[in-house]
Amino acid sequence: MSFLPWWQRYPERLQWEISELQALGVVCRVDEEKRTENQTVVMELSVPGVLTGTAELNMTAVFPDYYPLVPPKVFAADLEMPHHLNPFSKEVCLLGTPSEEWGTNGSLAQLLRDQLPEAIRAGLSDDHEGAEWNEKPQAEPYGAYYTTYASAAMVLVDGSWSIPEDAVHGPIEIRLAGPLPGPDVTAARTLGGVVAVGSDTGQTYATLDNQLQELLEGQLVHGRWSRLTSAVNVDDARAIWDAGQKADSSGSTREESYQGCRIQVRAVLFPEETGPRKVSDGWAFVLKVRGAQQQNNKNKNRRGGAPRPVSVSGGADQYHLLRTGRAGRSDIRARVPEHLPLATKKVAIIGAGAIGSAVAVHLGRAGVGHLFVIDADVLEPGNLVRHSASFDGVGLLKAAAVARLVRSVAPYTQVVFNPAYVGGSRPQGEPDPLRQISEELRSYHLLIDASADRGTQRILATIAREIGIPYLSLEATNGAWGGMVAYIGQDSSWCHSCLEWFRFDKTIPDPANSPVAYTQPVGCAQPTFTGASFDLEEVSLQAVRTAATQLSAGDGSAATPGFDVAVMELRNEAGERTLPTWNGYNLTRHAECTAHP
């Protein structure tokens, strides 16, 4: 079955569009050559001033392959305005979020009638209030319009940096790792990070956070930066390099050896929108490779890697525009504003297995300031079917593997680990690790028990009550049929022993549990429960929601969850999969409990 172009699938739609345009007084012509050769409908338009709100405009409309499921695009080659217009392609921004604001019954004529005059008015306005119309308020960063970025190449900066306005150029240090950019888009990434931005007099204006620098590898490259009064309006790395070099009257760019080539790095700082009509510093980075050419495919390594650039006498210099990645604390945490208070919180997690590892990773992503991971077990290859770590963590202590994983996804979360075994008897003569840990835990805001062991839960809940910190436990049943999350606050009227009594008298039901026996993989000392990560993480995620909510409560950014214990079922009594079902319970002191003072 051949794929039919949209005007054949909807045979009357094209003529309808033309008729609608003509009714508005728009002169249109379909480029039949492009329709035949490229299977694309392109319309040349003459839009009268009554629609543009200014003067008559020659415009081009391109109907995408999947029109009318998605809207047409409109371009105005002769239009100049600082907003709502791609400076290179000249596409006019008519819809803030096209996929949401476009309906399949819409038309190009409707866009020109309802959106175009407002877009032009707002695009020409320097007044934010006067620029608003029925769109979502958003910034238009100029750097986002460049299309000539090298593939898989990025330089990290901190979006909160504020370089003095009177500082115009100086040295810059970039930690750079990975191969030089090339045509092979499957090659390993080139990643850099701006370690320092300085002046020619030795002053340092900005440095990357130490916790982020610790994740950067590679060679320290010394380059130059210069300030421009406006963004370079040419989508070309060489043009940006030349503009930066012209603005830097005080220094030449240092040439260094890298990956068998001679390279230079230059950065430009320019005014860029970072909020609706809010302007601050934008960055662009250009990597210059002196006289470099790519080796031919015969010189690929035996594993099929990308050819390495080599210096060749007489070869042309190459200029690569490197994408800017904003990786500062505020850049990363801006996506979770509700949980900004987590940055000051310290959380301990005991148990770095399947459910505990997921809790650690998600708390790190949410912005918890400090994590303490405790587990004495080793990560086995078979654990990976439900553990958050990857194969490069196999053979490490689970606590170490989780700590390394959290650092890689949440660089601003300080994470430490301890290989202590908690819950069992200790060899004679050795100190009690839990007693040592409990003293340290007094400064923490929450103890999370992911041991999923009933005896360990009793111990840890008692310790948490004695040292006066909140306690949260999570557990999953065999087969991952169900799970439970329980939170005991510092001032809770009930305790873990009460919870056991409530479970004993069925006030709180036990989660659904698979009747199938545990399995004992080859090489394991004891049987283990079964269950896949996509089911187990339902329990971990609810534990993280509870922890994040409780840790943020009182900071004006989150409400309490409204229950103490949550019980989940993923299977019914017949063992059939169901939608995750959570039931919450509020507890008080149990009449039979004698654990309270």
pLDDT of the residue at 220: 97
- What CA–CA distances, in Å, run from 357 to 446, 458, 460? 16, 21, 18
The CA R_g of the chain, rounded to the nearest whole Å, is 30
- Measured distance CA(502)–CA(282) in Å, rounded: 59
Q: What is the pLDDT of residue 291?
A: 83
CA distance linking residue 463 with residue 468, whole number of Å? 8
List the chain pLDDT tens, one digit each, 597 residues: 458 999 999 999 999 999 999 999 999 999 999 999 889 999 999 999 999 988 999 999 999 999 999 999 999 999 999 889 999 999 999 988 888 889 999 999 999 999 999 999 888 887 655 555 555 677 889 999 999 999 999 999 999 999 999 999 999 999 999 999 987 766 688 999 999 999 999 999 999 999 999 999 999 999 999 999 999 999 999 999 999 999 998 778 899 999 899 999 999 999 998 877 788 999 999 999 998 554 444 444 434 444 444 444 457 999 999 999 999 999 999 999 999 999 999 999 999 999 999 999 999 999 999 999 999 999 999 999 999 999 999 999 999 999 999 999 999 999 999 998 887 666 666 777 787 888 899 999 999 999 989 999 999 999 999 999 999 999 999 999 999 999 999 889 999 999 999 999 999 999 999 988 777 777 776 777 788 999 999 999 999 999 999 998 865 444 556 789 999 999 998 899 999 999 999 999 999 999 876
Determine the pLDDT at residue 306: 44
Distance from the Cα of residue 191 to its chain's centroid: 16
Phi-psi region of 479 (alpha: psi -120 to 50; beta: other; left: phi over 0): left
Domain 6-138 listed as CATH 2.10.109.10: no
Sign of CA dihedral 506, 512, 517, 521: negative
Contact 490, 470 (CB under 8 A): yes
320, 289 contact by CB (below 8 A): yes
Instruction: Answer yes or no: are the C-beta atoms of 377 and 528 closer than 8 Å.
Output: no
Cα gap 435→536, rounded to integer Å:
30
SS (H, E, C) 129-153: HHHCCCCCCCCCCHHHHCCCEEEEE
Q: Give the number of residues written for the chain.
A: 597
- The CA distance from 48 to 57, in Å, is 7
Query: Quick check: 411 and 215 in contact, CB under 8 A?
Result: yes
Residue 321 CB burial class (10 angstroms; 0-12, 13-18, ≥19): buried
Query: Distance between CA 250 and CA 170 in Å, rounded?
Result: 8
- Which tokens hold the place of 177? 């790792």
What's the N-to-C CA distance of the chain in angstroms? Answer: 78
Residue 33 burial (CB count, 10 A):
9
- Element spanning 214, H or E: none
Cβ contacts of 81 within 8 Å, gap of 6 or more: 120, 123, 124
Q: Is 152 left (phi over 0), alpha (psi -120 to 50) or beta?
A: left
- What is the strand order of the sheet 446-449 is part of? 414-418, 370-374, 346-350, 446-449, 471-476, 482-488, 565-571, 577-585
CA distances from 123 to 54, 74, 83, 290 (A): 12, 15, 4, 41
Delimit the domains of the chain by residue range: 6-138, 143-332, 336-585
**CB-based contact 89:59 (threshold 8 Å):** no
Cα distance between residue 345 and residue 385, in whole Å: 31
Enumerate the H helices of 232-342 as residue ranges.
237-246, 329-333
Distance CA 448, CA 372 (A): 10
Q: What is the H or E stretch that residue 597 is in?
A: none
- Residue 304, pLDDT score: 42
In angstroms, the Cα distances linking 239 to 60, 224, 268, 340 are 28, 16, 11, 40
Residue closest to 165 by CA, chosen among 245, 284, 272, 271: 271
What does the alpha-carbon distance between residue 371 and residue 535 come to, in Å, rounded to a whole number? 24
Distance CA 503, CA 513 (A): 14
Q: In the 8-state DSSP scheme, what is residue 468?
A: T
Query: How far is the CA of 439 from the CAs of 260, 442, 597, in angstroms?
Result: 53, 6, 22
Task: In whole angstroms, give the CA distance from residue 538 to residue 385.
Answer: 15
Which CATH number applies to 336-585: 3.40.50.1220, 3.40.50.720, 3.10.100.10, 3.40.50.2000? 3.40.50.720
What's the rounded Cα separation, in Å, for the pair 336 and 345? 15
**CA separation for the pair 458, 465 (Å, rounded):** 11
Does residue 131 sit in helix, strand or coil?
A: helix
- The C-alpha torsion from 403 through 408 and 413 to 418, rounded to 10°, is 10
pTM: 0.87
- Amino acid found at 153: A
- Judging by beta carbons within 10 Å of its beta carbon (0-12, 13-18, 19+), is residue 183 exposed, middle or buried? exposed
The tokens for 235 are 């989508």
φ, ψ dihedrals at 472, nearest 5°: -130, 125
